[in-house]
Amino acid sequence: MTQNQYGDMHQNMQTGPVPSNMNHGANGLFGIKDVLGAVISCLNQATLFRPHIKDPELVDILDRQYRFSLDEYNITVECFKSGTDPSHPTGSYKMKTGNDFVYGFTPSQPKKPMQNAQELNDDMISGFMLGSVKSIASLKTTAAIEVTHPVVRRVLADSIPNCIEMAYELSIYMNKKQYYQIPQLSEQDMQEMINSFAPMQGQPPMQDHTVQ
């Protein structure tokens, strides 16, 4: 069944069949509005921050994430307005870095609010970028659960793993630069935690609770 067929199946109790591009509930519309607004803010933030970045690696991350996010924004707006599949499917964001984290703390200066714009640095900028992507991932997840339009819901849902990948890439970058330090439990405590769950063996008998 095509996406348009899904849309044509919906009806409004007062007006009858609902056109595909109007197949939205109020909660879903507000959710999409929040998502698109947050993505615009993230893209605008990237434009403002880029001239102030010192590290070429962070510039590269920002540029790749900006291009990918802009394309996702465009296809989301496209299917939101048309009610049909966008001109191309949602892509899959690929990191250029490895997956290695450095655990533990090294001495560093305590963080505090900056007093003037000249204090802006790569640590702060990468932190802003990470916070934005994590916020968008949360907004997209909530919206995808509430959106009634099948095409828009699928585009939103497919884009969530890309937000997670971007956040992961930024976390690795920040960790490597010691902007984002990660503690670990002791080996004994970690092992206790890992072993605190076990898979269930076999299948439980299903009881028939049908009311007679």
| CATH at residue 33 | 1.20.1260.10
What residues pair up with 18 in beta bridges, in sequence order? none
Is 61 a domain residue? yes
What percent helix, strand, coil does the chain show, rounded to 5?
A: 60, 5, 35
Q: What's the Cα-to-Cα distance from 161 to each of 2, 148, 172, 202, rounded to whole Å?
A: 24, 20, 16, 32
Is 152 a domain residue? yes
Is 47 a domain residue? yes
Is 211 a domain residue? no
Type of residue found at 81: K
Is 191 a domain residue? no
Name the 3-class secondary structure at 16: strand
Name the 3-class secondary structure at 90: coil
pLDDT of residue 7: 39
Per this entry, what is the length of the chain?
A: 212
pLDDT of residue 62: 98
Q: For each of the chain's 212 residues, which pLDDT tens digit applies? A: 333 433 344 444 444 444 455 555 566 678 899 999 999 999 999 999 999 999 999 999 999 999 999 999 999 999 888 888 999 999 999 998 888 889 988 888 888 898 998 999 999 999 999 999 999 999 999 999 988 888 999 999 999 999 999 999 999 999 999 999 988 899 999 999 999 999 988 888 777 666 65
Total domains, the chain: 1
Is 1 a domain residue? no
Q: Residue 160: which H helix or E strand, with range?
A: helix 150-176
Q: Residue 11: which H helix or E strand, with range?
A: strand 11-12
Is 15 a domain residue? no
pLDDT of residue 20: 53
pLDDT of residue 22: 55
Name the 3-class secondary structure at 4: helix
Is 194 a domain residue? no
Structural domain range at position 25 = 20-103+121-185
pTM of the model as a whole: 0.83
pLDDT of residue 109: 82
Dist CA 164 CA 49 (whole Å): 21
